[in-house]
Amino acid sequence: MKGWMGKFKGLFLLGSLALVLSACGQENLTALEPKGYGAEKALDLIILTTVVMLFVLVIVMLIYTAVLLRYRKKKGQENYIPKQVEGNKALETIWTVIPIILLIIIAVPTVTATFDLADETGASDHLNIQVTGNQYWWHFNYEGQEIQTSQDLYIPAGEKVYLNMKSSDVIHSFWVPSISGKMDVNPENENTMFIEAYEEGVYWGKCAELCGPSHSLMDFKVVVVSQEEFDQWVEDMKNVDPKAQPQDAVAQEGQALFQENNCMGCHAIGSSPAAVGPNLTNFGSRSKIAGILEPTKENLVRWIMDPEEIKPGNKMTGNYPDVSEEEADKIAEYLLQLEPSEITPEDAGK
Ligand code: CUA
């Protein structure tokens, strides 16, 4: 390592770090391009604290360099001892007061933002959604609307939406970096937060608390649409008939298999309350399958045949009879036709 490698080790590490960090800039999954109220507040604080820290770094480095140059050992002055400043009142005061001022500069906006983001006074005038975190998926219950859905959270743009969050099992954390900060989702108590998205679009959400082997796969989406589109979606979702028969013959067979295999034991369609597994009401228009896979039939068949291969530790594995590929294909056909609303994630931001 002493050769050329040693010389370039720092450069190599810096390069790798840049490479790793470059993946953090994915569109609609970055706190650095805020598209919502909470994310905007957070970015302001990130910039402020970074500026303060850079200021401290520059001053300290300047003093450090000046001291090194001025007091380094010089020829003929080997025994020279600089003037001692121990107990110097002026110096002690300066290096106590400056950090206090810097901390106040950081603390005032931070505390103000914290109280602002925790303000729940307007909650009853706005849309309230119960969010339930589960290993490894998210359930959304629109309070007073008789709408239940999973994985894709539809909200109107430019409106405050209040989330009342609880977990059905272990601690999760609800995080949509482009829209707002994180909030822990606990099994014992309800945590609340509000989100407000400025622009229509589909925003990536992540679980931000280690919750088991598929923690990193516990993705969801926030689908932000215009108020008119949202109202239409609400109307469509309320009018769902869970027993409606699909037109297509293959999908009809799929529906029969879905019932025979007792899939409804875990997966509700329509507005019946939260069950063991994700609600499938608008499954055909979801942006992803299981939160992570592209919504193709092949992927859905793969998921139905062997969910463990895709999301280790999920609760579906082993809790239903074995299905053949042919059967899985029919069930997939049925599920992908569950599209009660014309409003889909593709419309968001178009
Ligand atoms: Cu849920 Cu990590």
- In sequence order, which residues have a C-beta less than 8 Å from that of residue 230 and are 6 or more positions away? 154, 155, 156, 343
**Model-level pTM?**
0.86
Rounded to whole angstroms, the Cα distance separating 327 from 343 reads 29
pLDDT at 67 over 50: yes
- Report CA torsion sign: 43, 44, 47, 48: negative
pLDDT at 6 over 70: no
Helix (H, G, I), strand (E, B) or coil at 245: coil
Write out the H or E segment, with its range, that includes residue 250.
Answer: helix 249-260
133: phi then psi, degrees, rounded to nearest 5: -90, 135
Strands (E), 227-288: none
Of ligand 1's listed atoms, the one at least distance from the Cα of 170 is 1
Percent of the chain with pLDDT over 70: 95
How far, in Å, from the CA of 139 to the mean position of ligand 1?
13
How far, in Å, from the CA of 199 to the mean position of ligand 1?
27
Tell me: the pLDDT tens digits for 317-342? Answer: 999 999 999 999 999 999 999 999 99
Of ligand 1's listed atoms, the one at least distance from the Cα of 133 is 1
Rounded to whole angstroms, the Cα distance separating 155 from 289 reads 20
How far, in Å, from the CA of 71 to the mean position of ligand 1?
55
Tell me: the pLDDT tens digits for 131-152? Answer: 999 999 999 999 998 899 999 9
Residue 24 confidence class, pLDDT cut points 50, 70, 90: low
How far, in Å, from the CA of 18 to the mean position of ligand 1?
27
Of ligand 1's listed atoms, the one at least distance from the Cα of 208 is 2
pLDDT at 236 over 90: yes
pLDDT at 37: 96
Rounded to whole angstroms, the Cα distance separating 140 from 155 reads 11
How far, in Å, from the CA of 213 to the mean position of ligand 1?
9
Q: Exposed e or buried b for every residue in 178-216, given b needs 16+ CB within 10 A?
A: bbbbbbbbbeeeebebbbbbbebbbbbbbbbbebbebbe
Tell me: the pLDDT tens digits for 211-231? Answer: 999 999 999 999 999 999 999
Residues 301 and 328: beta-carbon distance below 8 Å: yes
Tell me the pLDDT of the chain averaged across its residues: 91
Question: What radius of gyration, in Å, describes the C-alpha atoms of the chain?
Answer: 27
Q: Is 209 in the pocket of ligand 1 (CB under 6 A)?
A: yes
Q: Is 211 in the pocket of ligand 1 (CB under 6 A)?
A: yes
Tokens of 56: 């401290």
CATH architecture of 249-347: Sandwich (2.60)
Range 121-126 average pLDDT: 91
Q: Is 218 in the pocket of ligand 1 (CB under 6 A)?
A: yes
Q: Between helices 325-336 and 249-260, what is the axis angle to 10°?
A: 110
Q: Is 224 in the pocket of ligand 1 (CB under 6 A)?
A: no
Tell me: the pLDDT tens digits for 29-52? Answer: 889 999 999 999 999 999 999 999
pLDDT at 18 over 80: no
Write out the H or E segment, with its range, that includes residue 205.
Answer: strand 201-207
How far, in Å, from the CA of 315 to the mean position of ligand 1?
14
Q: Is 311 in the pocket of ligand 1 (CB under 6 A)?
A: no
Least confident of 16-25, 88-97, 191-200: 16-25
Tokens of 52: 């303060």
pLDDT at 266 over 70: yes
The closest of 134, 157, 145 to 36, measured between CA atoms, is 157
Of ligand 1's listed atoms, the one at least distance from the Cα of 172 is 1
User: Distance from CA of residue 347 to its chain's centroid?
Assistant: 21
Of ligand 1's listed atoms, the one at least distance from the Cα of 212 is 2
Tell me: the pLDDT tens digits for 152-177? Answer: 999 999 999 999 999 999 999 999 99
How far, in Å, from the CA of 15 to the mean position of ligand 1?
30
How far, in Å, from the CA of 211 to the mean position of ligand 1?
4
pLDDT at 1 over 50: no
Tell me the pairing of strands 183-185 and 172-175.
Answer: antiparallel
Instruction: Find tokens 């592209």 and name the residue.
Output: 294
List the chain domain ranges.
249-347
Tell me the pairing of strands 161-167 and 127-134.
Answer: parallel
How far, in Å, from the CA of 172 to the mean position of ligand 1?
4
Of ligand 1's listed atoms, the one at least distance from the Cα of 185 is 1
Give one DSSP letter per residue of 35-75, joined into a string.
-BHHHHHHHHHHHHHHHHHHHHHHHHHHHHHHHHHHHS--T
Task: Report the nearest-CA residue for atom 1 of ligand 1.
Answer: 172
Tell me: the pLDDT tens digits for 68-86? Answer: 998 888 888 888 888 888 8
Of ligand 1's listed atoms, the one at least distance from the Cα of 136 is 1
pLDDT at 25: 57
Residues 145 and 234: beta-carbon distance below 8 Å: yes
How far, in Å, from the CA of 135 to the mean position of ligand 1?
7
Q: Is 215 in the pocket of ligand 1 (CB under 6 A)?
A: yes
Q: Is 219 in the pocket of ligand 1 (CB under 6 A)?
A: no
